[in-house]
Chains A and B, each alone.
Chain A
Amino acid sequence: MSILEQLISGLTFPNLYILLPEIIVLLTAFIVFVLELLSKSKFSITIITTVGLILAFLSTSIIKEGGVTFYGLYLVDTFALLFKAFLIMGTLFVVINFRPYFDAKKSYYGEYYYLTLFALLGTMIMVSSPNLVTFYIGLELSAVATYILAGMFKRDYKSKEGAFKYLIIGGTGTAIISYAIAILYGRTGTFDTLEIAKQVNLNNLDYGVIGGLILLIIGLALKASAVPFHHWTPDAYEGAPTPITAFMATVAKIATYAIILRIMVEAFPFVSKEWALAWAILAALSMIIGNIIALKQENVKRMLAYSSIAHTGYIVAALAAPTGIGISALIFYSLIYLFMSVGAFITLSALEKTPGWTNHIDDFKGLAKKNPVVALAMLIFMFSMLGIPPTIGFMGKLNVFLALIGSNIWWLAIVLVVMSIISAGYYLRVVVYMYMYDPVKTSRHNLAPPEVVTIGIMAIVVLFFGIYPTFFYDISTTVTSLLIASIGR
């Protein structure tokens, strides 16, 4: 019985202090869960969720020094804290827009609130996992909650269809990731990323490592909807309620980019050339196919879904250059992507409340004459996604471009530039329809206060940090240097 005694003597109470944001999010979710059963008061549900998320956001800044707890299964470092703060902020800006949208669509459920919080909790567990088991369980939590959220639209066939596709393909992705973890465990005998890093280097690449790595990359690419594993994205994004699409396209996606970076850098630092090539190919395919298919879309929501596939391409392209500049470019782009994507999707959700609005490109005709402020905000988000200089999207693409050139990956840098130019075709089309046509319908667009706040803040952030990107540049560089320093830990 000596081993049992050994295990018991190793038992410690977990350091709950560094788990503060997670605990607040979990408690908020349970409070909303009970409240939704008892009172059905829409106002208090919204307020409690908002307050809980604000508290969680503030608590990420209280934690001065991170640490490892739960016997090395949960790691809170600067990287995790930074991403957690942005994930909570993104969720906050999505959640406050639930009520106007769902009330207008007559599809209000209190469940949206706490399921979103559970999904957020899953993404938060994902970004701070130093272990493949923790990563897997966090991924599963966020994925299961998101499948349900995507299919909750009342009386809408497309929502069900999209959620079903998402469930099937997402389940396949989870299965592939678990196979990959099994193979890596078989090869290395550990789930811990740092232990894996010690055992995997260029001299002992065998079928176990290569097979596990390929399956892991396929599974992660499927979750990040990189081409050729993107087939669920357009349907799921188009079918889901628009604020939920905003959540899926930002919070879930950014957590996936973060965990791709963390696993690749922490678990496989000595075989970076191999995975860099794989991600380069996936990025090039995502940029080319995502942008070209987006050109043909008539539905703006579906177009934005393809644009998010293209953005997966731009972001993981930074992994093709596994250097400090590349990693920093990835962190920079995924953080700023939150602002433009939340902005664009929430603008859509605000417009979608208008009766008769179908998200078709024709609906945007003459929007600038009817509602100049919303049209201006949409113009800013479109310019930012396209990457036009005064917006922050330009800085994101510039960083990725510089990282690629710094590592002499010219072909991918050229693909990035050419595809950005092609993407002007569909982003500018929206702008042209808004500004150069006369309104077809005379229906008014009424914006609820939270929507005005969200769209306004996102537009200001996109413009202000586009002129002054030093803030994001500094934090991504700092986090990158800490992440690289942790490799030999």
Chain B
Amino acid sequence: MELTSLSFWIFSTLAVLSAIGVVFLKNIVYAVLSLISTLIMVSGLFFTMGAELIGALQIIIYAVAIVVFYVLVISTVPEFKGETIDPNYMFVSLPVGFLIFIELAYVSLYGAWKSNVGMFTSEVIKEMGNVKAVASVLFTKYLFPFEVASIILLVAMIGAIIIGKKDHVIEEEASNGSL
């Protein structure tokens, strides 16, 4: 009990501090690094609350895949490197972010209240574990959307290859033309 509350306070303090860093750091690389820190801390919070599936997904998807992708974009697009961002956007982004915060808080409060109604009560989850509970619904009732999502990934991959390939073709033709 003591350890849980201690880790909660550590993780949440670090999460808030690094989130402030994301918003206020001028250098975009530092901002992305503190974003990684925020996401890892939030996943730590999930682990302390016993939501091990979301915690692991948070690390795998957000901290690893998406943020690494950000870093990749920043390092490949030369205009971004170490540039400061115009702070005028903050006048728009702060209220919008606050609205989204209210919306998320509302959804999670309502959702937590409603989720007790379904068949996966907290006792069942304790017995089965989160991963099993999610999988048993995802691969039975929601199998169809799951399969269609794989087609979406395939289409997105094909699209990335085509759009990447095309520039190469253009360069080739341009160099041929100049010769």
Chain A residues engaging chain B, CB cutoff 8 angstroms: 1, 3-4, 6-8, 10-11, 14, 26, 70-74, 109, 111, 115, 118, 121, 125, 133-134, 136-138, 140-141, 144-145, 147-148, 151-152, 154-155, 179, 182-183, 185-189, 207-208, 211
Contact = CB atoms under 8 A, between A and B. Distances in A.
A144 B108 CA distance: 28
Contact of B144 (A6, A70, A118, A179): A70
B136 A187 contact: no
The 7 closest A-B pairs by CB, nearest first: A148-B159, A186-B110, A189-B114, A70-B144, A186-B111, A137-B145, A186-B107
Nearest to A125: B148
Nearest to B119: A3
Contacts of B107: 179, 182-183, 185-186
Contact of A151 (B117, B152, B163): B163
A118 B156 CA distance: 11
B170 A154 contact: yes
A182 B114 CA distance: 12
Contacts of A14: 144
A183 B117 contact: no
Nearest to B137: A7
B106 interface: yes
Interface in B127-179: 127-128, 132, 136-137, 140-145, 148-149, 151-152, 155-156, 158-159, 162-163, 166, 169-170
Overall SS of chain B's interface: helix
Contacts of A144: 152, 155-156, 159
B111 A185 contact: yes
B81 to A, nearest CB: 21
Given A140-B152, A183-B107, A73 B141 contact: yes
Contacts of A188: 114
B27 interface: no
B103 interface: yes
A115 B128 contact: no
Given A71-B141, A137-B148, A189-B114, A154 B136 contact: no
Interface centre among B114, B145, B156 (most CB of A within 10 A): B145
Interface residues of B, number: 38
Contacts of A125: 148
A109 B103 CA distance: 44
Nearest to B118: A189
A168 to B, nearest CB: 14
22 contacts: A4-B136, A10-B140, A11-B140, A71-B143, A72-B141, A73-B141, A73-B142, A111-B158, A133-B142, A133-B145, A134-B145, A137-B145, A138-B148, A141-B155, A144-B152, A154-B170, A182-B107, A183-B106, A183-B107, A185-B107, A185-B111, A186-B114
A208 B140 contact: no
B120 interface: yes
Nearest to B154: A118
Contacts of A8: 140
B7 interface: no
Contact of B151 (A7, A109, A121, A185): A121
A109 B141 contact: no
Contacts of A138: 148
B115 interface: yes
A154 B114 CA distance: 51
B103 A152 contact: no
B71 interface: no
B128 to A, nearest CB: 7
B151 A148 contact: no
B144 A3 contact: no
Contacts of B151: 26, 118, 121, 141
B141 to A, nearest CB: 5
Given A1-B128, A183-B106, A155 B163 contact: no
